Structure 1
Amino acid sequence: MPAQTNLMPVLTAAQVNVLMETVYPQLNEQFKYFEAIDVFRGGCTVRLNAADRHLRPGGTVSGPSLFTLADIGGYVCVLSHAGPDALSVTTNLNINFMRKAEAGPIDGHCRILKLGKSLMVFDIDIVAGPEGHTIAHATGTYSIPPKRNGDVVK
């Protein structure tokens, strides 16, 4: 299924990163582990800069770290395309792990499959290594809160 490419972003990757630092500071604390790399029509690219704290025994990036990357991909897509409402929440996220990943940059290529007034459906291909092999693939849904008059979107 192709991405919904007729969608125009309302925020850039840099703007989303600033917003996430403001409304979700505990995500990265003092280091920049998770970040938006690019926002484009109908999708985004996010990155996990996987370090020792993300590794399980055997030097493999942990499933929870990859799951978080998938969730952040959906969050960046919903913020950048539906608007900067920090109260958008995950309603569903399914992930399949394909290969192991080692510490280093891990990218998530996220695309919006459907963006409606109250829900956004997306998928994300998580890739790593010099050949950019898929290490995980996830699909998810975000709930978009109704627009509120006078509310601050932070």
Structure 2
Amino acid sequence: MDAVREAVMSVAELETFLAREFPQAFGPGKPHHVVGVGHNTASVRLDADDSHLRPGGTISGPAMMALADVAVYVALLGQIGPVGLAVTTNLSINFLRKPAPGPLLAEARLIKLGKRLAVGDVGLTGQGSEELVAHCVATYSIPDRR
């Protein structure tokens, strides 16, 4: 049986790396925040504001897709370290219900972590609710680190 592998990056290290590499989404005054990281898991929050809403007063699909994508990326970095060039190769999302405006939480878990590919799934919930507003599966390509 394999030993449980703890995260190799802390929340603070992830936040610093993401603010440097993706300043449009992370850092002071930005909408995305790493809430937690563990063995093959990550929690990321989007503090959705008016720029994330669509007509009808709900968080837009592109904002939810970006949050889900970021959450899988954070779970992956938590296991392999700061690899800026790990990239999404596939992302599929099911929108289940309209989220109310406000914070949205993504809970990601890696369901496969290989040498070249990682697959994760993500559940998105609105603040104060356990009901999923969306479910996503994403695949990441991991660059050769030689």
* TM-score for both structures, normalised by structure 1: 0.88
Q: Identify the residue that residue 69 of structure 2 maps to in structure 1.
A: 71
Distance 2:122 2:25 in 1: 19
C-alpha displacement of 1:132: 2.4
Asked if structure 1 preserves the Cα contact closer than 8 Å seen for 2:118 and 2:141, the reply is yes
Q: Identify the residue that residue 86 of structure 2 maps to in structure 1.
A: 88
Distance 1:30 1:57 in 2: 28
Question: What SS class does the counterpart of residue 100 from structure 1 fall into?
Answer: coil
Query: Is there any run of 5+ residues in structure 1 with no aligned partner, and where?
Result: 149-154
| Cα RMSD, aligned residues only | 1.7
Q: Identify the residue that residue 6 of structure 2 maps to in structure 1.
A: 8
From the superposition, tell whether residues 82 and 103 of structure 1 become closer, same or farther in structure 2 (CA, over 3 Å).
Answer: same
Within the candidate set 134, 137, 140, 1:139 is matched to: 137
Within the candidate set 37, 45, 50, 2:35 is matched to: 37
Asked if structure 2 preserves the Cα contact closer than 8 Å seen for 1:98 and 1:135, the reply is yes
Question: What SS class does the counterpart of residue 24 from structure 2 fall into?
Answer: helix
Asked if structure 2 preserves the Cα contact closer than 8 Å seen for 1:101 and 1:129, the reply is no
Asked if structure 2 preserves the Cα contact closer than 8 Å seen for 1:6 and 1:42, the reply is no
Distance 1:26 1:48 in 2: 13
* TM-score for both structures, normalised by structure 2: 0.93
- Percent identity between matched residues is 40
C-alpha displacement of 1:28: 4.2
